[in-house]
Amino acid sequence: MQYFLIVYRLVIAFWVGGAALFTFILTPTLFKNLDRDRAGEIVGILFPGYFRWELACGVIALTCLMLARGRHTTASAVIIIAMLAVTSLQAFVIEPKAAAIKKEIPSFVTTPADHPMRKQFRKLHGISAVSNLGVIGGGIALIILL
């Protein structure tokens, strides 16, 4: 049982740390140092792996939590399930739609911000960004519950 708690803690740390690193370090660095089109291309390449990582961490964390049955199991399980739901929405709905819209925009550098496709992309990006912050917030709550 103790081993499951150790793995649970590690996976939560990997999940939240990975999300924070991607959100607050990697992505801003790319957009600061590359033109918007190139940075967006790289981030677009990384997204599928990023979401698979988050989903894998969530499934492993939930499994370990259920096997360990430690303190705050119910509250933690609810948070993990919510985080998995949000991540699934991002991975299987928002990101594919955003990628399809992105293909319709020749360049984010030269296409006007008020272009209809840019507006659709911006809306999906906003939903995704808020969702990502929600996942990070959920992870922080899980760490506090440890």
Mean pLDDT of 4-16: 95
Q: Name the residue type at position 98.
A: A
The tokens for 22 are 């991607």
pLDDT value at residue 62: 96
Mean pLDDT of the chain: 95
Whether 95 contacts 48, CB under 8 Å: yes
Q: Residue 49 — pLDDT band, cuts 50, 70, 90? A: very high
Q: Residue 72 — pLDDT band, cuts 50, 70, 90? A: confident
Report the share of the chain in percent with pLDDT over 70. 98
DSSP letter string, 41-80: HHHHHHHHHHHHHHHHHHHHHHHHHHHH--TTHHHHHHHH
Could you tell me the end-to-end alpha-carbon distance of the chain, in angstroms, rounded to an integer? Answer: 15
| Euclidean distance between CA atoms 42 and 135, whole angstroms | 22
Mean pLDDT of 125-135: 96
Whether 82 contacts 138, CB under 8 Å: yes
| Euclidean distance between CA atoms 22 and 93, whole angstroms | 20
Mean pLDDT of 8-32: 96
Mean pLDDT of 124-146: 95
Q: Residue 47 — pLDDT band, cuts 50, 70, 90? A: very high
pLDDT value at residue 143: 93
